[in-house]
Amino acid sequence: MSWLNTFSFVMRANVTTLRDRFSDPERMLHQLIIDMEEELGRVRESVAGAIADQIQLERKVKKTQEEVEHWSERATSAIHRSDESSAKLALEQKLMCQQRADTLTTELVKQREQTDKLRSAVQELEDKIRQARQKQTLLLARLTRAESSSRINQALNRVQSKSAFAEFRRLEDRVEREEAMSEAYDRLEGRDPAADELERQFEESDRKERLEKEFEALKNRVQESAK
């Protein structure tokens, strides 16, 4: 975002520096605030979208958990009727729903974290806009009084300006490096089809074992309650 570099510079700058850097500081400050407000609007749209996604996930989690309870009750009812086949089918549906609920819950946690980050970004940007407006009022008043001021520190201010750009470029390079490393780790985590098939077989075996254990536990509870 170009406004971020300008904002960082303005917050550190004095009247002479702004005169050296910009031919029309008043117009620049006005445009900076406009750019930041436009960015704020975009971030707010992102927050609204993230909240909408979170609401949808919350509803899906609730619905799936209700399905888990539904199939659990169906399994219990089947056991009371001594219908073991129906009980197993109901338990299998319950396990599938539980697995889906667990996955959705994990996604919901991540979505809430993302929403919180976006909300923090909105707050941070609103703070920056307030700072920019305060700085604008102060600097414009000083610019008016400093029309005839000499530019004694012109060379030094230009060096500082270049340093600000270099600092921002270094930050961009570091972010790009982190993104590249993240992508590299993601690629390293890829697995071949044979390994995926073997993993699927293990998961299927574990699922059947959990189904049998839950079925036997349910039978025992029903038998105990009937005594």
Which residue is it, tokens 């470029």?
169
* Least confident span in 85-89, 128-132, 158-162: 158-162
Give the amino acid at 14: N
| Parent domain of 155 | 2-226
Task: Tell me what pLDDT residue 109 has.
Answer: 95
- Over residues 113-156, the pLDDT tens digits come to 999 998 888 888 888 888 878 877 777 776 666 655 554 445 44
Which residue is it, tokens 């839950």?
214
For residues 97 and 68, the answer to whether their CB atoms sit within 8 Å is yes
Task: Tell me what pLDDT residue 216 has.
Answer: 79
Count of domains forming the chain? 1
Q: Which residues contact 36 (CB under 8 A, 6 or more apart)?
A: 3, 7, 125, 128, 129, 132
Longest CA pairwise span in the chain (Å): 101
Q: Which residues contact 134 (CB under 8 A, 6 or more apart)?
A: none
91 falls in which pLDDT band (50, 70, 90)?
Answer: very high
pLDDT beyond 80 at 214 = no
